[in-house]
């Protein structure tokens, strides 16, 4: 099975950082794009968030 990439969210001092990676560098499979979309939406709804990167 091919690597589906990763989407990681970190929150520190009100700053939300979302990192994403895919080994093909120029590809973002639809499943990874969905996880990124969900991470952005969740960060926007998080009351601890002051800034999103």
Would you kindly state where each structural domain of the chain is located, as residue ranges? 6-52
* Per-residue confidence band for 2, with pLDDT thresholds at 50, 70 and 90: low
- Top pLDDT among 27 and 53 is at 27
Q: What is the pTM of this model?
A: 0.79
- In the numeric block, the tokens 């690597």 are attached to 3
pLDDT at 50: 84
In order, the DSSP letters of 1-53 are -----EEEEEEETTEEEEEEE-TTSS---HHHHHHHHHHHHHHHH-TT-SEE-
- Closest to 47 in 3D by CA, of 7, 11, 4, 2: 11
The β-bridge partners of 18 are 9
pLDDT at 26: 81
pLDDT in tens, 5-47: 899 999 999 899 999 998 887 888 899 999 999 999 999 888 8
């Amino acid at each position: 099975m091919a690597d589906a990439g990763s989407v990681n969210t970190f929150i520190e001092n009100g700053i939300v950082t979302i990192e994403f990676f895919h080994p093909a560098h120029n590809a973002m499979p639809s499943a990874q794009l969905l996880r990124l979309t969900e991470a952005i939406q969740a960060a926007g709804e998080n009351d601890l968030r002051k800034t999103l990167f």
